[in-house]
Amino acid sequence: MKETIAVYPGSFDPITNGHIDIIERSLKFIDRIVIAVTDNPHKKPLFELNKRISIIKNIFKKSTSVEVEIFNGLLVDYLKKKNIFLIIRGLREVSDFNYEFQIVLTNRKFLSRLETIFLMPREEYLFLSSSIIKEIASMNGDVKKFVPEIVAKELKNIYKNR
């Protein structure tokens, strides 16, 4: 039987419970998900790429349905190389929609067979973003409710040395 595989691209700087919610939701209808972690040149990342990857690998170490990879360059080129034509993205508020809409239409111009599935997280995570988490953590706030334990620890480590 043919497996359904999708790519979930993003910066994951760091991964939050909102991202994890989307991953778990997608695994209800696909067999495997490849989390493709990128260095977005427009965002100055807090965590190095390899750190972001190792954190995600640690979180999903027991799951055989989740893979983690680095991707550089154009997403469409990466997808062609992997022979995967399905993307998973999360949708939170209206502002996500405008951006995502543009990306879908642009990607489609390069790779017409590409489809993107948008999933909405549970309500508690609708306003959650990696940037908000970094902001809270930088001010010594408690992020335990919004990120896995390993992420909370790593954030503490970073900000205690600043």
Q: Pick from 59, 41, 57, 48: which is nearest to 13 by CA?
A: 48
Residue 154, both tokens: 């790593």
**Rounded-to-integer distance, Cα 156 and Cα 126, Å:** 24
Site string for ligand ADP, 30-69 (x = CB under 6 A): ----------x-----------------------------
Examine residue 148 and tell whether it contacts ligand ADP (CB under 6 A): no
Q: Is 41 helix (H, G, I), strand (E, B) or coil?
A: coil
Burial 57-86 (b: 16+ CB within 10 A, else e): eebbeeeeebbbeebeeebbebbeeeebbb
Nearer to ligand ADP among residue 43 and residue 81 (C-beta): 43
Which of 7, 18, 46, 55 is close enough to bind ligand ADP by CB under 6 A? 18
From the candidates 25, 92, 108, 129, which is the catalytic residue?
92
Which of 35, 78, 114, 130 is close enough to bind ligand ADP by CB under 6 A? 130
Q: Please report, as ranges, the residues that interact with ligand ADP according to CB under 6 A.
A: 10-12, 16, 18-19, 22, 40, 89-90, 92, 96, 121, 125, 128-130
- By annotation, the residues acting in catalysis are 19, 43, 92, 130
